[in-house]
Amino acid sequence: WMQSWITEDGAMNFAPPLAEKGEYIDFLAEMDVIAVCSVCPDGSSPCNDFEAKALRMQILEPDDGARSEAGC
């Protein structure tokens, strides 16, 4: 995730990401969603450590048991 913050005077600050290669996050959608993702393609800032990198997304459908447990 992008490491960013706003200072008291309103300036935006960016720092290299803390995530390591191979780390991931799982999201569980409990209803239909539209999701948008960006890999911060700007290669000239510290938000991606000055190097554009690939992103892999995988969307999984729950099995019927998981659907009934979630009330879907």
Query: Where would I find the H helices in 1-72?
Result: 64-70
Check residue 10 and give its pLDDT.
96
pLDDT digits (tens, 9 = 90+) for 42-62: 667 777 777 777 778 888 887
Check residue 2 and give its pLDDT.
76
Whole-angstrom CA distances from 47 to 30, 36, 59 are: 30, 18, 25
Question: How much of the chain is in helix, strand and coil states, percent to nearest 5?
Answer: 15, 10, 75
Check residue 6 and give its pLDDT.
94
Check residue 36 and give its pLDDT.
84
Which candidate, 61, 10, 4, places its Cα nearest to that of 38?
Answer: 4
Which amino acid would we find at residue 21?
Answer: K
pLDDT digits (tens, 9 = 90+) for 14-35: 888 888 888 888 888 888 889 8
Boundaries of every domain in the chain: 1-72
